[in-house]
Amino acid sequence: MIELTHTNGEKFNVDPDYIILIGDHDATIPEAKAEITLNNTILLVCETRQEVVRKVLEWKTEKDWMRGSLAAGQRSEAIDSSRKLFELAGLHDKKLDAFVDGIIKQMEEPEHDAG
């Protein structure tokens, strides 16, 4: 999910896979800089068309990178990608960072035999 802003200032999230069209808005509503088409719904957002496209491309690239990292067994890279996806969705916070850093630290510690 990516985080966008309605023309009333409220933040919302949308799944980039459902975006059909991203276009410039014709300025009938000054706050609206872009139109996003989802199925049969048009949403007006405060972000520019270029900002929305950048967020969509970042999301899709990072999601693919995370999947590839997991498939290759590169857990720390997958966790870094997950962190970036959380940021793009507007869910980034210090508690999440501390949690992810703890997981990475545990993964980097050498395993010890019990015997």
Q: Please report the pLDDT score of residue 15 as a whole number.
A: 94
- The boundaries of the domain holding residue 20 are 2-108
Question: How many whole angstroms separate alpha carbon 64 and alpha carbon 76?
Answer: 15
Residue 114 lies in a domain: no
Q: Quote the number of domains for the chain.
A: 1
Q: What is the pLDDT of residues 29-76, one digit of tens each?
A: 888 999 999 988 999 999 999 999 999 999 999 999 888 888 888 877
Residue 84 lies in a domain: yes
Residue 17 lies in a domain: yes
Q: Please report the pLDDT score of residue 95 as a whole number.
A: 67
